[in-house]
Structure 1
Amino acid sequence: MSKRNSAKYKIDRRMGENIWGRPKSPVNKRPYGPGQHGQGRKSKLSDFGTQLRAKQKLKGYYGNIMEKQFRKTYDQATRMKGDASENLIGLLERRLDAIVYRAKFVPTVFAARQFVNHGHVLVNGKKVNIPSYRCNVGDVIEVREKSRTMALVLEALESAERELPDYISVDPKGMQATFARVPSFDEVPYPVVMEPNLVVEFYSR
Structure 2
Amino acid sequence: MSKRQNSKHKIDRRLGVNLWGRPKSPLNNREYGPGQHGQRRKKPTDFGTQLMSKQKLKGYYGNIGEKQFRRLFDEAVRRKGDTGENLIGLLERRLDTVVYRLKFVPTVFAARQIVNHGHILVNGKRVNIPSYQVKEGDVIEVKEKSRELPVVLGAVSSSERDVPDYLEVDHGSMKGKLIRSPALADVPYPVQMEPNLVVEFYSR
Q: Normalization by structure 2: what TM-score? A: 0.99
- Give the % identical residues: 68
RMSD: 0.6
Deviation at 1:7, TM superposition (A): 1.1
Measured in 2, the distance between the counterparts of 1:119 and 1:28 equals: 35
CA displacement, residues 73-107 of structure 1 (integer Å, 9 cap, x when unaligned):
00000000000000000000000000000000000
What letter matches 1:13 in structure 2? R
SS of corresponding position for 2:121: strand
What does residue 10 of structure 2 align with? 10
The 4+ residue runs of structure 1 with deviation greater than 4 A are none
Distance in 1, matches of 2:45 and 2:2, equals 30
Deviation at 1:139, TM superposition (A): 0.3
Within 2, Cα distance between the matches of 1:70 and 1:93?
Answer: 13
Corresponding residue number in structure 1 for 2:24: 24
CA displacement at 1:38 relative to structure 2: 4.1
Partner of 2:84: 85
Q: How does 1:170-181 map to 2 (within 5 A)?
A: 170-181=169-180
State the match for 1:49 in structure 2. 48
- Partners of 1:126 and 1:136 in 2: CA distance: 14
Does 1:200 find its partner at 2:187? no
Q: CA deviation at 1:16?
A: 1.1
Equivalence for 1:97: 96
In 2: Cα distance, 1:38 partner to 1:83 partner: 40
- Show CA shifts across 1:173-196 (max 9, x none): 000010110001000000000000
Amino acid at match of 2:90: L
Counterpart of 2:18 in 1: which secondary structure? coil
Query: Match for residue 120 of structure 1?
Result: 119
TM superposition shift of 1:32: 1.0
Gaps of 5+ in 1: none
Q: Provide the C-alpha distance between the structure 2 equivalents of 1:39 and 1:125, rounded to a whole number of angstroms.
A: 51
2:154 matches 1:155 = yes
Superposed CA offset, 1:147-186 (max 9, x none)? 0011110110010000110001001100001011000100
Distance 2:160 2:84 in 1: 27
Alpha-carbon distance between aligned partners in 2 of 1:3 and 1:152, rounded to the nearest angstrom: 21
The Cα shift of 1:8 comes to 1.1
Q: Does 1:146 align with 2:145?
A: yes
1:18-48 deviation per Cα after TM superposition (whole angstroms, max 9, x unaligned): 010000111111111110x241111110000
User: Distance between the aligned counterparts of 2:65 and 2:165, measured in 1?
Assistant: 28
Corresponding residue SS for 2:112: helix
| Offset, 1:6 | 1.3
| Alpha-carbon distance in structure 2 between the residues aligned to 1:173 and 1:96 | 20
Q: Calculate the TM-score normalised by the size of structure 1.
A: 0.98
Q: What CA distance in whole angstroms lies between the structure 2 residues aligned with 1:31 and 1:162?
A: 23
**Counterpart secondary structure, 1:87:** helix
Q: What SS class does the counterpart of residue 68 from structure 1 fall into? A: helix
Query: Distance between the aligned counterparts of 1:38 and 1:173, measured in 2?
Result: 47
